[in-house]
Amino acid sequence: MALEQDQRISEVNKREQSRLRNFIRRRVPDPRDAEDILQEVFYELVEANRLLMPIEHLTGWLFRVARNRITDLFRKKEPENFSDTAVADFERRVIIERLEQCSWSQTEAAADLNVPLSTLNQKIKRLNIEVKRRRAGEGAEQG
């Protein structure tokens, strides 16, 4: 049983490691932090497997764990290490990904991001205002 679990984890690692590493590196500026996150994701997989946690969509689960670890990293970092724009861009990507690409409701996205629904609604409102402002600026430049 344990040997079979080890083989399954090894197969998943071989199959998903490259894609997951690229996914993390595109979002995390420091390569050391990216590698740490990658190791944490696979550690969580080993722990979930050891505890016999059922994982229905393994690839999706791995990427969700990676996104959560990236979010944790941005929350832990000192403010001077990341510009407000970098943090806002990351938050924007995560919110858009949850709502549009994953077709999640705002309630599901808030739960996954571990923020109150009202906070997510405020962020969405600010993002919409920013998008409108940028579009207005682009229109003025073209006109």
pLDDT digits (tens, 9 = 90+) for 56-103: 777 888 888 898 898 888 877 654 445 556 666 677 777 777 777 667
- Co-location of 5 and 32 in the same domain: yes
Is the model's pTM score more than 0.75?
A: no
To the nearest whole percent, how much of the chain has pLDDT over 70? 77
- Co-location of 74 and 136 in the same domain: no
- Co-location of 70 and 134 in the same domain: no
Domain that holds residue 15: 1-82
- Co-location of 67 and 4 in the same domain: yes
Predicted pLDDT at 104:
75
- Co-location of 88 and 77 in the same domain: no
- Co-location of 76 and 122 in the same domain: no
**How many structural domains does the chain have?**
2
* Chain centroid, CA 81 distance in Å: 19
- Co-location of 18 and 69 in the same domain: yes
* Residue 34, domain CATH: 1.10.1740
Least confident of 19-23, 29-33, 54-58, 62-66: 54-58
Predicted pLDDT at 80:
47
b/e map 35-53, b = 16+ CB within 10 Å: eebbebbbebbeebbeeee
